Amino acid sequence: MPEAPVLSSSPLPDETLRAIAASGVVRSFPKQTILIHEGDVGDSLYIVLTGRVKVYASNAAGREVVIDFHGAGEYVGEMSLDGSPRSASVITVEPTTCAIVNRAQFRDFLAANPDFTQHLIQTLIRRARDATENVKSLALSDVYGRLVRLLNALAVERDGRFHVPEKLTQQDIADRVGASRDMIGKLMKDLVGGGYLLVEDRQITILRKLPPGW
């Protein structure tokens, strides 16, 4: 079976979500709405109440690299609270409702809710660790190694098997590991043929531990 997935901070408790939402503005967005543009200056934090968002970066030629996905109880945009330009873009991947809190409101919330400060610190540490691991993976691993790391990190155990909860296309995977769709397609086909993976309607199940090399 896969190695233990990368640990992430737990989603915010419902009562914390309600408290933050009360301090800001709640808005609903359709799928494929860009919430944050990389390079813009902004002071708003987006707390995801329902739905899911994608964090990504792109260059002038339009090439995109996916950084992460976040769902209900998570938040994005915290890096701009120091007044610097946005370091990445954020887009909804399904209908999404967010509480939008500006810098002043967020500072007031932190002062009134010190427990959330600890959660924020843990989240920032986790995201910094993830960024370090991603740089190491891109620099030191081949495409197959990056694919294995991604699948193992995303997989969760259910009914005795490890499933990737996100429905990922081959292009989604390619964007996240910095590879071509054709290369990912070949590797996925080989892993399915070898009995390591089951892919049904873009749902990936890891049937047995993925080999360290291919």
Residue in the structure block whose two tokens are 């699948």: 151
Task: Give the separation between CA 51 and CA 124, rounded to whole angstroms.
Answer: 22
Residues 6+ apart with CB under 8 A from 126: 7, 8, 9
**The predicted structure's pLDDT at residue 3:** 40
**The predicted structure's pLDDT at residue 162:** 92
- The yes-or-no verdict on residue 14 having pLDDT over 90 is no
142-206 CATH fold: Arc Repressor Mutant, subunit A (1.10.10)
Element (H, E) at 66: strand 64-71
Q: What ranges do the domains of the chain cover?
A: 14-137, 142-206
**What dotted CATH number matches 14-137?**
2.60.120.10
Look up the pTM and report it.
0.64
Residue in the structure block whose two tokens are 């049937």: 207
Q: What is the pLDDT of residues 99-136, one digit of tens each?
A: 998 888 888 888 887 777 777 788 778 777 777 776 66
